[in-house]
Structure 1
Amino acid sequence: MSQPSPLDRHSVRQHVRHLRRALTSEQQEQAADRLAEHAVNFAPLASAEHVALFLSVDGELNTRPLIARLWQQKKQLYLPVLHPFASGHLLFLRFTPDTPLALNKLRIPEPPLDIRQMITLDRLDVMMVPLVAFDATGQRLGMGGGFYDRTLQNWRQHGFLPVGLAHDCQQVDRLPAAEWDVPLPAVLTPSRLWQWE
């Protein structure tokens, strides 16, 4: 497979981030509520005990309504934390209503690093994954740091289901894929569920 030019990926990333940030606060709020409604009825999530997700930044679909619903259902939730020694890797730590959060070097809120609150990937049931854009084949374009591409590399062996979360406007016809990209088996948007496996 020929490598896409970084320019292609950059322009898609810029364009979709612009679309996402152009949504009004009312549109953002409605999208987040609709997505939470769909997500709790999505069978793999409904039956999951341990769920990793993320806190939204930069116009990403707001995960707070979904988090509130999952806490009501007594699910154990986990947030990504930048690995302190393995650069470019993530750890997942327990997230409760009482967890204090601090901004990391990427200006993303994360829980304090506490080994007692960490979960290994093979104990997760579902991982909600942020993305900038996705296409009709499940190809995902992230922010460019590769954190989730590394985390998702062997998701089948770990036994969790990765699910992208996105606004409807983040779907594009075709993404320029690179060899390290890991396609998603499912993406949830406010209007529908996309599944490829």
Structure 2
Amino acid sequence: MTHMQDTAALTEDTRRRLRRELRHRRRALSAKARRDAAERLCRHLRQLPDIQRARRVALYLPNDGEIDPTPLIPWLERRGTRVYLPVLKPLSSNQLWFVHYHSGTPMIANRYGIPEPETRHGAHRARRKPAWALDMILLPLVGFDDRGQRMGMGGGFYDRTLAFTRRPGPRPRLIGLAHDCQRVERLPAAPWDVPLDAIVTDARVIRP
């Protein structure tokens, strides 16, 4: 299946195979290609009016070949913007907290082996925020299309955490990030999918 194939009607098995293919595609990029893509991505992000106004921005540490937003951190901090990272909530709630992050933040591997801020001690727990208290969340994508539909890793963490954005009230701007090679012709919308405000890659900005 190529990234331009129509995927409007995906069975669960087809979705798994597509997710596997797209993950392989991003992991196959060389280290230099990933660094160059990260720089182009961050150049696009810095031009977004929403991020220029934001005071609290969540992003992620790249894993499994995900495009890297961390070169953006020094620029955000120079502007006085607080940077947050996602942390898996304990007690199997399968949702995310967001914890203030800086270069000295103690880190620990979560149950998937991904580094996240340490929250076992009270002082660190006090730095966490719910998603609604943020101005912007940059989230990783496995796949996307030109209509703004997205495919994640399949765990549903962001969809559960951000389900509140479908209701009236304060909400962060949601920006999906991916390598441009993760684009597909068409992805179907699942009932639980949380819509994005934009998708940014190393090559383009898509506003649904």
TM range (shorter): over 0.9
Between the aligned residues of both structures, percent identity stands at 43
After TM superposition, list the pairs within 5 Å mapping 1:10-159 onto structure 2.
10-113=16-119, 114-155=124-165, 157-159=169-171
Residue type of the alignment partner of 1:75: T
* 1:44-81 per-position Cα deviation (integer Å, ceiling 9, x unaligned): 00110000111100000012211232223221011110
Q: Deviations over 1:73-92 (max 9, x none)?
A: 22101111010124211111
Query: How far did residue 4 of structure 1 move?
Result: 4.1
Distance (whole Å) between structure 2 residues aligned to residue 158 and residue 81 of structure 1: 21
Structure 1 contact 135–173 (Cα < 8 Å) conserved: yes
CA distance in 2, matches of 1:158, 1:142: 24
Q: Distance in 2 between matches of 1:66 and 1:98?
A: 17
Kindly indicate whether the alpha-carbon contact (under 8 Å) linking 1:166 and 1:188 is maintained by their aligned counterparts in 2. Answer: yes
Q: TM-score, normalised on structure 1?
A: 0.93
C-alpha deviation, 1:190, in angstroms? 1.1
Runs (4 or more) in structure 1 with deviation over 4 Å come to none
Q: SS state of the match for residue 138, structure 2?
A: strand
Deviations 1:85-135 (A, max 9, x none): 242111111001110211100111100113210112222110001110011
CA distance in 2 between partners of 1:158 and 1:109 (Å):
29
**Cα offset, 1:3, TM superposition:** 8.2
Q: Residue 150 of structure 1: CA displacement?
A: 0.9
Q: Contact (CA 8 Å) 1:164, 1:184: kept in 2 or not?
A: yes
Aligned partners of 2:181, 2:195: CA distance in 1, in Å? 19
Alignment-mate amino acid for residue 100 of structure 2: R
Distance in 2 between the 1:159 and 1:148 partners? Answer: 14
Q: Which moved more, 1:90-99 or 1:63-72?
A: 63-72
* Letter of the structure 1 residue corresponding to residue 197 of structure 2: P
Distance 1:19 1:70 in 2: 29
> Normalising to structure 2: TM-score of the pair?
0.88
Give the corresponding residue for 1:189: 201
Is 1:179 matched up with 2:179? Answer: no
Amino acid at match of 1:130: P
State how far apart, in whole Å, the 1-side matches of 2:9 and 2:33 are.
36
Q: RMSD across aligned C-alpha pairs, in angstroms?
A: 1.6
From 166, 180, 183, the equivalent of 2:178 is 166
Contact 1:77 1:95 in 2 (8 A): yes
Shift of 1:24: 0.8
